Amino acid sequence: MHKIMGFGCLAHYGVRFYWKFKYGSMFFGPNDISPLIHLGLSLSSFLFKVPTLRLSSKAIIWKELQLHNIIFTSRSVMMMYHSMLFKELNYLYYFVRLGIVGLHHYLADVISDRYQNNDKTTTRDIPHNIDNKIIIDANKKFYAISQIAATSTLLISSNPDNGFVIMFPIQFSTFLMTLVRKGFISNNQWHIFYSLSLALPYIINYNMISVNNNKLYINIFHIILRLLLRTNKFFNFAMVTILYKFVNFSF
């Protein structure tokens, strides 16, 4: 069942991305149940026993990452339905989105407090099979920036397509880990394919960013807050929401 759902969801990603590039829309509607099927795929991972502790030498699924995958898949699915069911009529729309994002990140923190090993992050500390510190550090920075940009996009977006494209790297990363466990790809290949999946949202949202510079500025501001100033992420989420809805600025 998990394998059938997995390949079905991969094919579904391909179809929706094709529509997005060809027609400019993924054609999601409020009666669409396909996002729930993607959440069901993540939940079906409970059929398998995964290690509680992460392996330091191999990129395979462990308990913390499994639960994070479910939580962040749920985050995208809930944000998609919020976009499809509710219109951007007033400020409450974005504060509801802030609550949805905040709740999911709080749950992720609870999971990390219980299962985290050696203060390692779930994706940025996936092992490499190389000793090149420059490449490893660049990978980690790209992953961190992409995660922050994804959260900003969910907070200030009214398009369900964004939730879907942000969900793709989350689910694709665990599929790649299955391939690592079965010996089909290496740790380094995991990083290559995962990085390519993270690049997809930038490509899809290029036109949106070029038209609405405020969204680009807010993303940059969020990255500065988190990576340079090390401010609390929940404070950052609130600042992103407030800036987008209450502050008009240009450079």
User: Which pair of tokens denotes residue 10?
Assistant: 């991969």
Distance (Å, rounded) from C-alpha 197 to C-alpha 169? 5
Smallest CA-to-CA distance from 197 within 161, 160, 163, 170 is with 170
pLDDT value at position 123?
Answer: 74
147-184: per-residue pLDDT in tens?
999 999 999 989 999 999 999 999 999 999 999 999 99
Mean pLDDT over residues 109-135, rounded?
80
Is residue 28 within 8 A of residue 161, CB to CB? The reply is: yes
pLDDT value at position 126?
Answer: 83
Task: Give residues with Cβ within 8 angstroms of 91, minimum separation 6.
Answer: 245, 246
Distance (Å, rounded) from C-alpha 187 to C-alpha 131? 13
Smallest CA-to-CA distance from 50 within 125, 122, 156, 106 is with 122
Q: Which of 53-62, 144-153, 242-251 has the lowest mean pLDDT?
A: 242-251
Please provide the average confidence, as pLDDT, over all residues in the chain. 90
175-223: per-residue pLDDT in tens?
999 999 999 999 999 999 999 999 999 888 776 555 567 888 899 999 9
Say yes or no to pLDDT of 61 above 70. yes
Q: How many CB atoms neighbour CB 1 within 10 A?
A: 9
Distance (Å, rounded) from C-alpha 39 to C-alpha 167? 10
**Domain chopping of the chain, boundaries:** 2-246
Say yes or no to pLDDT of 13 above 70. yes
Say yes or no to pLDDT of 129 above 60. yes
Question: Quick check: helix, strand or coil at residue 32?
Answer: coil
In this structure, what DSSP letter does residue 30 have? T
Smallest CA-to-CA distance from 149 within 213, 198, 195 is with 198
81-121: per-residue pLDDT in tens?
999 999 877 778 999 999 999 999 999 999 999 987 656 67
pLDDT value at position 207?
Answer: 64
Place of tokens 């999601």: 28
User: Phi-psi region for residue 183, left (φ > 0), alpha (ψ -120 to 50) or beta?
Assistant: left
Smallest CA-to-CA distance from 80 within 172, 161, 187 is with 161
pLDDT value at position 180?
Answer: 93
pLDDT value at position 208?
Answer: 59
pLDDT value at position 251?
Answer: 45
Mean pLDDT over residues 53-67, rounded?
87
